[in-house]
């Protein structure tokens, strides 16, 4: 699965050939320091940042892609993984592989996307609701709108601000696809993340600590303790000098597992989604922050006023990320990626319908 490094990045194990090397080659090409291709330079804006490859000291033959943790800045990240395109198999797939992929979700060609999983923070209960890939595959043309809207509902109301901001970000990605004929993407996904908590009045403990300890390397305290950046990882105490990397190689303390691919030999052809129980953050809360005890009475209407009736002119201010992920099936091309474009347009239409209705 995808692990989380103490320095705030995530580690995605390289898949078996040809998928793993192909994905590594894609990242190397896009993030080449000598790259002067405007198309690829713009594409960086829509990907997780890439920091090369990494291998644990105890297993030097295991290779991981070192990537930006898109959820790191969020206190209560709501996360959704949506596979985009009309085909989830690439042009070189065997007839058996094509049949296998089509049978998983026959509506892929018509709908143009597939929800692989989601995790939504519910304000009222201070808990997460999760849905796996089977949920996405159960959605039909008639139910897909309601199925997607579940991701933007926080248990109290519909987060229209997050929907509007997501649409704007998808439209930018769509504009990139409309303007390029270099690459075609298959079985690639969009990762959606938005802030589920009352973030305006919540300051993370780690952020405060970092601000107070300027001079200390990012993420590392003087005693060797690794800061807890978000609710996907335990604090790792490295009191044994020099054992930080070793602790990572042993699997860290938690899987960062919203978007997880099964790398066990018997699962190489299957996508799976695994959501672990998450540790709650330690946070400082100002006197005006809405706490669990106050989630009643007049506070719920206040939340709805803030989250659900956001004026259109400030919708971009919503704390939302939409990034492209999974590039094991990216191929050179001399035509527009019409399948991906179709999926993006259809997803925008669905989101706009949720917003309008």
Q: What is the pLDDT of residue 237?
A: 36
With 0.85 as the threshold, say if the pTM is over it: no
Confidence grade of residue 69 (pLDDT, cut at 50, 70, 90): very high
Residue 242 has pLDDT above 80, yes or no: no
**Which whole-number Å values give the CA distances from 255 to 4, 122, 185, 279, 328, in the listed order?**
7, 22, 27, 12, 21
95 shares a domain with 41: no
Confidence grade of residue 244 (pLDDT, cut at 50, 70, 90): very low
Domain final position from 69, 101, 127: 69
168 shares a domain with 75: yes
Domain final position from 69, 99, 121: 69
- Per the CB < 8 A criterion, the answer to whether 282 and 228 are in contact is yes
Q: Decide which of 232 and 56 is more confident.
A: 56
Domain for residue 299, yes or no? no
Domain for residue 276, yes or no? no
Domain final position from 43, 69, 95: 69
Q: Supply the DSSP string of 67-132, one letter for each residue.
A: EE-TTTT-SSEEEEEEEESS-SS-TT--HHHHHHHHHH-TTHHHH-EEEEEEEEEETTTTEEEEE-
**Which whole-number Å values give the CA distances from 11 to 64, 80, 234, 238, in the listed order?**
6, 19, 16, 19
Mean pLDDT of 189-212: 64
189 shares a domain with 81: yes
190 shares a domain with 74: yes
Closest of 74, 86, 42, 46 to residue 179, by C-alpha: 42
Q: What is the pLDDT of residue 317?
A: 52
Q: What is the pLDDT of residue 243?
A: 40
193 shares a domain with 137: yes
48 shares a domain with 100: no
Q: How many structural domains compose the chain?
A: 2
pLDDT in tens, 295-336: 344 444 444 444 444 444 444 457 999 999 999 999 999 999
106 shares a domain with 2: no
154 shares a domain with 193: yes
Domain for residue 239, yes or no? no
Residue 291 has pLDDT above 50, yes or no: no
Confidence grade of residue 113 (pLDDT, cut at 50, 70, 90): very high
Residue 261 has pLDDT above 80, yes or no: no
Domain for residue 324, yes or no? yes
- Percent over 70 (pLDDT), the chain: 67
Residue 1 has pLDDT above 80, yes or no: no
87 shares a domain with 61: no
CA torsion 198-203-206-207 (nearest 10°) is 120
pLDDT in tens, 123-181: 999 999 999 999 999 999 999 999 999 999 999 999 999 999 999 999 999 999 999 99
- DSSP H or E segment with residue 321: strand 320-325
Domain for residue 297, yes or no? no
Please give the biggest Cα pair distance in the chain. 61
- Name the token pair of 149: 């809207």
CATH number at residue 345: 3.30.470.160
57 shares a domain with 21: yes
88 shares a domain with 179: yes
140: containing domain: 70-198+318-356
Domain for residue 281, yes or no? no
């Amino acid at each position: 699965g995808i692990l989380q490094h103490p320095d705030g990045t995530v580690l995605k194990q390289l898949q078996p050939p040809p998928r793993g090397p192909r994905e590594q080659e894609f990242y190397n090409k896009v993030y080449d320091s000598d790259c002067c291709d405007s198309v690829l330079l713009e594409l960086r804006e829509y990907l997780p940042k890439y920091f090369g490859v990494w291998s644990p000291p105890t297993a030097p033959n295991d290779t991981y892609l070192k990537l930006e943790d898109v959820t790191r800045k969020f206190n209560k990240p709501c996360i959704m993984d949506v596979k985009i395109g009309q085909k989830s198999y690439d042009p070189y797939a065997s007839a058996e592989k094509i049949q296998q992929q089509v049978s998983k979700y026959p509506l892929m060609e018509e709908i143009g996307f597939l929800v692989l999983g989601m995790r939504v923070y519910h304000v009222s209960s201070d808990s997460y609701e999760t849905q796996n890939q089977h949920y996405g595959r159960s959605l039909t043309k008639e139910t897909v709108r309601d199925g997607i809207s579940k991701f933007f509902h926080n248990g109290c109301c519909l987060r229209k601000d997050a929907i509007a901001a997501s649409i704007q970000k998808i439209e930018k990605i769509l504009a990139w696809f409309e303007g390029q004929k270099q690459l075609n993407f298959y079985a690639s996904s969009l990762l959606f993340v938005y802030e589920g908590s009352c973030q305006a009045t919540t300051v993370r403990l780690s952020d405060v600590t970092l601000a107070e300890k300027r001079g200390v390397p990012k993420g590392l305290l003087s005693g060797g303790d690794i800061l807890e950046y978000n609710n996907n990882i335990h604090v790792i105490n490295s009191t044994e000098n020099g054992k930080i990397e070793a602790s990572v190689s042993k699997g860290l303390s938690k899987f960062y597992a919203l978007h997880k691919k099964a790398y066990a030999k018997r699962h190489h052809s299957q996508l799976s989604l695994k959501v672990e129980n998450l540790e709650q953050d330690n946070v400082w809360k100002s006197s005006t922050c809405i706490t669990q005890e106050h989630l009643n009475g007049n506070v719920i209407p206040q939340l709805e006023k803030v989250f659900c009736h956001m004026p259109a002119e400030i919708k971009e201010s919503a704390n939302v990320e939409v990034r492209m992920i999974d590039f094991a099936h990216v191929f050179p091309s001399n035509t527009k990626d019409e399948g991906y474009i179709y999926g993006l347009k259809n997803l925008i239409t669905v989101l706009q319908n949720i917003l309008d209705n």
